[in-house]
Amino acid sequence: MTLFDLTGRTALITGSSGGLGLAMARGLAQSGAQIIIHGRNHDKLEAARHALSEEGHQVLTTSFDVADEAAIEQALKALKDEGFSIDILVNNAGMQLRRPLIEVELDQWEKVINTNLTSTFLMGRNVARQMIERGQGGKIINIGSLMSSVARSTVGAYTASKGGVRLLTQSMAAEWAEHDIQTNAIGPGYMITEMTKPLADDPKFNDWLINRTPSKRWGVPEDLVGTVVYLASPASSYVNGQIIYVDGGMLAVI
């Protein structure tokens, strides 16, 4: 057994038409996995599929609302009917809302919670059912955040959702570990993506981040690849219910 070899495994990565999800999908493919990328924007999804295929990777696409139970069930059934068994699930799809809590409307709160937390539950539950039925174990990797453990002003809904992801990950591990399913999470630090570009473009915030982070830089999506491959591979077969922060050391210092 090669510890980090994913040959013969199929990985579904939600929210992977760009950003962190695409980088993780590429990393899993480079380690031998057949990947299923997911997104709601058809043009972005097709562009990502084309780029990965040109690199020589086995890649499929799927598109559905990760917070819609019926849509999830339909998509997973379609993949199963086509002969694809998901060995690795990366729950990456998510959204941010920057607004003081006192100004957050209920529908905005619910959208963030549903997109970031409820979707992780629905995807994890439905894929775990298939894994348990097959009896061959599997890997579920949830994407948390620095805000899975700490808070900042104006991102209260996001913080609540990502804190929930951390404890949901532990709950999944508690219930599914006996089926040889390892459920863990990654907590990215501040990564340069479309979602964080407004922060990176703000000189005051950028200076604060560089000075606050021991590594003295923003993260890039590729910084997550080693961790996601580790958690998807046999190397982590006795690691369960953990969150690994990939944050340049930010949480380690005051």
- By annotation, the residues acting in catalysis are 158
Q: What is the DSSP string of the chain?
A: --TT--TT-EEEESS-SSHHHHHHHHHHHHTT-EEEEE-S-HHHHHHHHHHHHHTT--EEEE---TT-HHHHHHHHHHHHHTTPPPSEEEE-------S-GGG--HHHHHHHHIIIIIHHHHHHHHHHHHHHHHTS-EEEEEE--GGGT---TT-HHHHHHHHHHHHHHHHHHHHHGGGTEEEEEEEE-SB-STTTHHHHT-HHHHHHHHHHSTT-S-B-GGGGHHHHHHHHSGGGTT--S-EEEESTTGGG--
